[in-house]
Structure 1
Amino acid sequence: MKIKTMYTCEVCGTDYKEQCRAEQCEKSHRVDIEIARADYLPIGYDSSLKGYDNSLKGFPVRILMKAKDGTSMLYKRCE
């Protein structure tokens, strides 16, 4: 029987054969981020129909994430 040792990035869950690769992966992820802004639509609004639909469940349409160093990234909801 063979024993296989794997190292897993604790941020994204990717498995590696080498410990140094898993450590590199962990260090490469931005974990110093927070939500700076979240943009919502009025209840029931569906932009694709240019009208109202109650199936959107209140999720934001855009989220602005900011890191401690001031860099930011804007995420948009895909409907």
Structure 2
Amino acid sequence: MKIKTMYTCEVCGTNYEDKNKAEGCEKTHKVVEIERAEYLPYNSCNNDLKGFPLRIWVRAKDGTCAVYKKW
């Protein structure tokens, strides 16, 4: 029997045979925090959107910002 060790990026879940590659993958992902979120009023939401934002603005530690949209 052969034992195989795999290393998994904890951010995206990609498996690597090489530990350094897995660590490198983790370092490329930006750690972000939600800066702002935009919601619809409760009475205008359909069931699949209730409670979820339409858009979120996220900012990485390096100061870069991105917007993610539901549609």
Question: TM tier, shorter chain?
Answer: 0.7 to 0.9
2:63 to 60, 65, 70: 70
Unaligned runs of 5+ in 2: none
Secondary structure in structure 2 of the residue aligned to 1:26: helix
Question: Which structure dedicates a bigger proportion of its chain to helix?
Answer: 2
Structure with higher Rg: it is 1
After superposing on structure 2, the runs of 4+ consecutive aligned residues of structure 1 that deviate more than 4 Å are: none
5+ residue gaps, structure 1, are: 47-52
Percent identical? 61
| Count of aligned positions | 70
TM-score, normalised with respect to structure 2: 0.86
Deviation at 1:13, TM superposition (A): 1.7
CA–CA distance in structure 2, aligned partners of residues 5 and 69 of structure 1: 33
CA distance in 2, matches of 1:5, 1:72: 36
TM-score, normalization: structure 1?
A: 0.79
